[in-house]
A = this chain, B = another copy of it.
């Protein structure tokens, strides 16, 4: 049976000592976001995740959701757990107080997303999708619609969905066929079939509010002709049934307790959210948080997989240490003595902790982007977030798949057995690389849109802070040595490769878009390794500063420095391979005749 304990010590380290989250308390309306205020919330979140959600994760996977004549039953215990979650106010944590939310920072919501995903990713899908629907309505709907829907979404009495994908289109939403025709009273009649709708039908809430992309009769073709509608399962006025029905649920590799539904709209009544034909831009404004949330799902799974691998590696006795017996009183040494097992554990740890710091940094900047009084500061934060989101979504989920698989490998044959619970993390993690924009699409977003924008304006929001940090730290390292002296050469070499390949991709991509496309995935990975490396520099610096003064948590800070050492020595070298792969260009890909595949 797997175990899970919320990694609050590391989370607090990142929040308070690496990314200065307490500074958010100075933003208008964030008075509760002091370190103390956040502490209380984190303790409470840890408790609900560890004690309520986590025990349902493995049984939820085994039982799955069941479909019967349009109704979906979630696994045993999910309904009660949802009530506890709802009553705890977790669904409205970062929502607008005007609608009953607690108005706390998005960053805090990010932390909770990690914890919930560790404890029970499938469960987290239900409030997670609601939050997406909340964001869409809050940002784009009329006041009237907001008043009807937001209070219920915020307190979790109702849940929401995002209905985008159709059988013929997932990535290419321009191919959507669902249509909307004008109704009598300013409402619209929606008709079409949506697939892969998470939380599309279930038994947790009193109503389900679908946000639906559809096409008006006079819509321009393609992506510019999408409009967004709110379509409730039950009509808010009288709770009569709308013409929305779940046709079936999918049988999936993982997240089996999350209902993935086919939803049929048959002249269903809906209301326009935002302007006609502007559905895609409405979607885009909520995409950042949604993609960050998927990255955090990956992070959560990585964390819980790591924790279980550590427990197993300390308990499992196999073989003796290569340098001689370490536990003579035992029939064999615990496998944690073996260098290859440690290499796997440290890979898991270095990726997980590094990704956490990066994700929380981005989460923090979302708060700055929305709440900071200075427009220029908001604009810079917005650029930074836009730049980093594809990296977060893609890299955290790829890392999650790597880390969860390493957990299985440490368990050996036992990891392959469902009873032990770690293979579930692999199956659950696998979807995070795909949904909310497949990772290849994230890479195209990075090189095709974010990198190109305004001659690299977004890029500067990462490159400049890094260059500033390096200038200062190089100076310190040269004069005083110090904790970063050993890491800086690794980082600077990698940063140089990022600069080089940025130039390569930009130059070649300008002449031939296929060059950008061919480099995209490797470039995103390279960028991510450098960005995570930057977080390891910052964490190492923070840890060294704490160690320099007397403190009773020395082992924690020493572990940080050792993990940084591992990251730079063992993981950072990936940038060399990626840089060379990027240099090989598009020709070998595009030259291959389609019929020869």
Chain B residues near A41 (CB-CB < 8 A): none
Known contacts: A521-B340, A569-B588. The answer to whether A426 contacts B171 by CB under 8 A is: no
Chain B CB within 8 A of A228 CB: no
Residues on B with beta carbons closer than 8 Å to the beta carbon of A415: 434
A512 cross-chain contacts in B, Cβ below 8 A: 323
- Cβ of A48 under 8 Å from chain B: no
On whether the beta carbons of A588 and B346 are closer than 8 Å, the reply is yes
A55 within 8 A of B: no
List chain B residues, Cβ under 8 A from A584.
569-570, 573
Which residues of chain A from 418 to 443 have a CB within 8 Å of any chain B CB? 418-419, 423, 426-427, 430-431, 433-435, 438-440, 443
Is A555's CB within 8 Å of the partner chain B?
yes
When C-beta atoms are compared, the residue in chain B nearest to A517 turns out to be B339
State which of B418, B427, B433, B597 has its C-beta within 8 Å of the C-beta of A345. B597
A84 on interface, CB distance cutoff 8 Å: no
Q: Which interface residue of A175, A310, A332, A340 has the most chain B CB atoms within 10 A?
A: A340
CA gap between A341 and B594 in the complex, in Å: 11
From the candidates B323, B555, B589, name the one contacting A514 in the complex (CB within 8 A): B323
Contacts of A435 in B (CB 8 A): 413
- Confirm or deny: A252 has a beta carbon within 8 angstroms of a beta carbon on chain B: yes
- Docked Cα-Cα span, A172 to B577, in Å, equals 35
In the complex, the count of this chain's copies comes to 2
* Chain B binder among A131-139, A294-302, A314-322: A314-322
A581–B347 Cα gap in the complex (Å)? Answer: 12
List residues of chain B with CB within 8 A of the CB of A439: 409
Closest Cβ of chain B: how far from A218's Cβ, in Å? Answer: 19
With a cutoff of 8 Å between Cβ atoms, the chain B residues found around residue A518 in the complex are: 339-340, 342-343
Does A452 lie at the interface of the complex (its beta carbon under 8 Å from any beta carbon of B)?
Answer: no
A376-411 interface bits toward B, Cβ cutoff 8 Å, 1 = contact, 0 = none: 000000000000000000000000010001001100
Tell whether, in the assembled complex, residue B569 and residue A418 are in contact, meaning their CB atoms are under 8 Å apart: no
Specify which chain B residues have a CB less than 8 angstroms from the CB of A577 in the assembled complex: 573-577
Contact of A430 among B171, B251, B408 (CB under 8 A): B408
A331 nearest in chain B by CB position:
B175
Closest to A439 in B: B409
Q: A250 an interface residue at 8 Å Cβ cutoff?
A: yes
Task: Determine the chain B residues whose CB is within 8 A of the CB of A563 once the complex forms.
Answer: 592
Q: Range of interface residues on chain A?
A: 35 or more
Most chain-B Cβ atoms within 10 A of its Cβ — which of A250, A555, A575? A250
Interface hub of A170, A313, A416, A579 (most chain B Cβ within 10 A): A416
Q: Are A566 and B594 in contact (CB under 8 A)?
A: no
Set B174, B196, B342, B591: member contacting A589, Cβ < 8 A: B342
Contact at B340–A440, with CB atoms within 8 Å?
Answer: yes
Among A252, A584, A586, find the residue whose CB has the most chain B CB atoms closer than 10 A: A584
Q: Are A342 and B590 in contact (CB under 8 A)?
A: yes
A161, chain B: closest CB distance, angstroms? 15
Q: Smallest CB–CB gap between A565 and chain B, Å?
A: 5
CB neighbors of B among A150-184 (8 A) = 165, 168-172, 174-175
Q: How far is the CA of A577 from the CA of B593 in the complex (A)?
A: 31
| A418 engages B253 (CB within 8 Å) | yes
Q: Confirm or deny: A49 has a beta carbon within 8 angstroms of a beta carbon on chain B.
A: no
Residue A79 at the B interface, CB < 8 A? no
Residues 494-534 of A, flagged 1 when their CB comes within 8 A of B and 0 if not, give 00000000000000000011101110110000000000000
Confirm or deny: A214 has a beta carbon within 8 angstroms of a beta carbon on chain B. no
The answer for the CA separation of A448 and B323 in the assembled complex, in Å, is 13
Does chain B have a CB within 8 A of A444? yes
Chain B's closest residue to A335 (CB) is: B171
**Residues in chain B near residue A593, CB distance under 8 A:** 555, 559
- 13 A–B contacts, CB within 8 A, in A order: A171-B319, A172-B332, A253-B427, A314-B594, A322-B517, A338-B517, A341-B440, A342-B518, A405-B430, A413-B431, A559-B593, A569-B581, A573-B580
